Amino acid sequence: MADTKTRRTIRLVRGVGAGSAVTLFVSYCAFRLHFNLSTAGSIDLLIVVLIALRVGFWEATGSSVVAVGCLAYFFAPPILSLRVAEPENWVALASFELTALIVSRLSDQVQNQTRQAVLERSNATKLYELSRSILVLNRQEPPGPKIASLIAANIGVDAVAIFDPDLTRLYTAGKCVKEDEELARSAYFSDAAAHDELKAYRWRRVLRSGSKPIGSLVLCATDLSPLMVDAIASLVTAALERARSFQKESRAEAARQSEQLRTAVLDSLAHAFKTPLTVIMASTSGLLEMNHLIPPQAELVQLIDQHGTHLNALMTHLLRMAKLESAEIRIRPEEVAIPHLLDEIVEECCGQLGEHSIQVHIADADLAVSADRQLLSITIIEFITNAAKYSGGNSPITISAQKQAGRVVISIHNKGSVIAFEERERIFERFYRSPATRHYASGSGIGLAVAKKTAEGHRGSVWVNSDETTGTTFFLSLPALARRECEFVAK
Amino acid sequence: VSLLQSRVLLVDDEPSIRRALRTTLSALGFDIEEASGGEQAVSFVRTERYDAALLDINMPGMGGIEACRTIRRLCPRLPILMLTVRDSEDDKIDALDAGADDYVTKPFHVGELMARVRSAVRRSHATQDDIDTVITIGDIDLDFEGRLVRKSGGIIHLTPKEFDLLYCLMSHSGKPLTHARLLRSVWGNDYGDEVEYLRTYIRQLRKKLEDDPSRPEYLLTESYVGYRFSDTYRKTSRGLRTVTRND
């Protein structure tokens, strides 16, 4: 900085010297040629204006002062003395100086504006080039390094450093030194003031999308304006954002495709299993229906039929769970009255539970949640069949529902088959089967994982309590809904 | 009408399923005609007369639902039963909306299938005669003119909406009716999504009509689809049990 100031001063002194010399020389010539005060004044004015146009305001001002001196010395009587005797000459000299000052000021302004316009045009061209190059960047490649080198090439800066906090990467171009890199990093982490011109022609900006910082930029250049730096920063921001949203999009697209594939595989699996099962069961039930079999044959066909039905139930359950497990659970929430739901579930389940009876205890008839009815009933049925599977003989299964601190807690209790303390978290993991029971109870190891996923999808939770004396209780807790009395019931 | 001589059009793209069903149903007295796809089924229906059609939903080319719609246009009275797989509740609703009379979920027992076919055939014949103003199913009598419902002779008091809902279900007994259809016919055309209304009324009706409301014998839930008033059969864990019908 100090460097430029000295250089500027030297240039100014030199300009003033040269201007004064020219003025002095011309004035002397005019004196020798016996010009009068007004003619010499006009010539000097012309010279001052030329200096103002070609060199600058301060040089012209210096020269004009010398010119006034010369005019007073050579042309205003008494001649060859700096004294001016007549007052009208004072007026002439004063108006000369004033005119010179005004004219040089005006010409200097015009010149500055022109220079500014040229600079701005060149900046605009550079920015245009930069944005065009950024737009045609290959979207498959990481944008950072390209953007850095494009800034270096198009804007003509000495060094560029872009910090990308998402990947914690630093992209540099030009003669970037360690200090610039550090600056870029620290700018992002300290979230430095947005407008920040640093020493030694360094500029830094925190790149913001909205109010969220998404990176930082350090530029190293001698002839940048804050405006230009801001423009570059917003270009880089837009380019990074664009690249990121493209990446996000293509990731989402890939996920969607693999999801589609998974669904297609599961659907074709379902079809592949259902067709032979349909044939088997149509045949066995047809045979039984015809009533021509002797008792041992009928017994065997019944066996095939029963196990076909069982196999079908297993397949249906497994495929449904696999579908729910693999997919993002899509919840279609509606107001679900818990007592109604439990009634329906019991109605649906009672054929499948063998000797087990179900008892339902509902503390509050107005219990309701906002949930996906189908998913919620699948979850509760999962707990009920689980309870039936692991509890012995004909022991009853008890379902209770109550409100606790703004949540609806549904519990499914059965006697027998204690779950070891260390397994209580793990049974909700996918494919986990308790070593104690995996040999005698059938299951896929997905059901409870799906139950947990469904509960979490509803901002709820599942857990289990189990001990020798009270038995095993699974809990499902969901945010409660303040149940309003349905108007049609009142009618 | 002798149900045993019924001509049934069987439409499925799986040859093995057609074979199994043709063999069993023929042996049980049905006259079976096979079609391997929707297009073929439609062309058969144009030229032949059938007593019922069994249509698979998932078929390449013209699917079951499209075929059902076309056949329903050609033969408004032909009973159509759809063969579906589980976990396709939306398909079932679409099929019923497309004009199907009933659906059977694969894999199924032939006894259940036959019962549904019989029920649909009987309904199609019944609607050809004038509908009785008194419907009697099991031990429940509904007198439409007198707006009276009796169970085993004793009068059951129903609210007007409960009566309308019960009438709608009983006049289509044996046929599954979707939530939307029930809501529209009982509450009006502006309704369709208010399933919770329906659940409340069905629960009230069960309390008044069923011996054990938690194990209904008449007002059956078709999971995620709608409700059905049982007509002659009821599925239990032990198989099929016939409920007497006095008509």
Nearest neighbour of B107 by CB, restricted to A278, A288, A488: A278
Residue whose C-alpha is closest to residue A194's, from A183, A180, A210, A207: A207
Please, are residues B219 and B203 in contact by the beta-carbon 8 Å criterion?
no
Chain B positions touching chain A (beta carbons under 8 Å):
14, 16-17, 19-21, 23-25, 27-28, 58, 85-87, 106-114, 195-197, 199-200, 203, 214-216, 221, 223-224, 236-237
Interface test with A, best of B25, B199, B212, B236 (most A CBs within 10 A): B199
Q: Which residues of A376-408 are buried (b: 16+ CB within 10 A; e: fewer)?
A: bbbbbbbbbbbbbbbbeeebebbbbbeeeeeeb
Rounded-to-integer distance, Cα B29 and Cα A280, Å: 20
Cβ-nearest to A274 among B85, B199, B236: B85
* Residue whose C-alpha is closest to residue B54's, from B89, B29, B94, B22: B22
A347 touches chain B (CB under 8 A): yes
- Consecutive H or E run containing A64: helix A57-70
Q: Whole-prediction pTM value?
A: 0.57
Gap from B49 CA to chain A (nearest CA, Å): 25
Mean pLDDT across B93-118: 90
Chain A, nearest residue to B160 by Cα:
A491
Q: Does A490 touch chain B (CB under 8 A)?
A: no
Q: Which of A275, A320, A486 sits opposite B17 (nearest CB)?
A: A275
Q: Do A277 and B223 touch (CB under 8 A)?
A: no
Average pLDDT over residues B132-158: 86
Return the pLDDT at B247.
35
| Percent of chain B at pLDDT exceeding 70 | 89
CB-based contact (8 Å) between A106 and chain B? no
Mutate to test the interface with A, among B28, B88, B90, B196 (most CBs of A within 10 A): B196
A319 touches chain B (CB under 8 A): yes
A–B: how many Cβ contacts below 8 A? 102
> Which residues partner with A465 through β-bridges?
A473
Helix, strand, coil content of chain A in percent (nearest 5): 60, 15, 25
CB distance B111–A289 less than 8 Å?
yes
What is the rounded distance in angstroms from the CA atom of residue A342 to the CA atom of residue B177?
A: 22
Please report residues of A whose CB lies closer than 8 A to that of B110.
282, 285-286, 289
Provide the CA A312 distance to its chain's centre, in angstroms: 47
Length of chain B: 247
Angstrom CA distances, A489 to A338, B75, B215, stand at 17, 41, 23
CB neighbour burial string for A134-147, b if at least 16 within 10 angstroms, e if fewer: beebeeeeebbebb
Taking contacts as CB-CB distances below 8 angstroms, the residues of chain A near B86 are 316, 320
Binary contact (B25, A286; C-beta < 8 A): yes
Residues from chain B contacting residue A489 (CB–CB below 8 Å): 200
CA distance to partner chain B, nearest, from residue A161 (Å): 56
Across the interface, of B86, B113, B196, the residue whose CB is closest to A486 is: B196
Output the tens digit of pLDDT for each of chain A's 491 residues: 456 678 888 888 888 888 889 888 988 898 888 888 888 888 888 888 888 888 888 888 888 888 888 888 888 888 888 888 888 888 888 888 899 889 888 888 888 888 889 988 888 888 888 888 888 887 777 778 888 888 888 887 888 888 888 777 888 888 777 777 777 777 777 765 545 556 667 788 888 887 788 888 888 877 777 788 888 888 888 888 888 888 888 888 888 888 778 778 887 887 788 889 999 999 999 999 988 899 999 999 999 999 998 888 888 888 877 777 776 677 778 888 888 888 888 877 776 777 788 888 888 878 888 888 888 888 898 888 888 888 777 788 889 998 888 889 999 988 877 888 878 888 888 777 777 666 666 666 778 888 888 888 888 899 998 888 888 899 999 988 765 544 444 33
Q: Nearest 5°: phi and psi at A221?
A: -160, 155
Helix A338-349 and helix B195-209, axial crossing angle in degrees, nearest 10: 60
Nearest residue on chain A to B237, alpha-carbon basis: A351
Q: Which two tokens stand for residue B218?
A: 């008449």
Mutation target for A interface from B4, B14, B179: give the one with most A CBs within 10 A: B14
Q: Which residue has the tokens 């289990």?
A: A464
Under 8 Å CB-to-CB from A381, ≥6 apart: which residues? A345, A348, A349
Closest by Cα among B198, B132, B200 to B170: B132
DSSP string, B221-232: EETTTEEEE--S
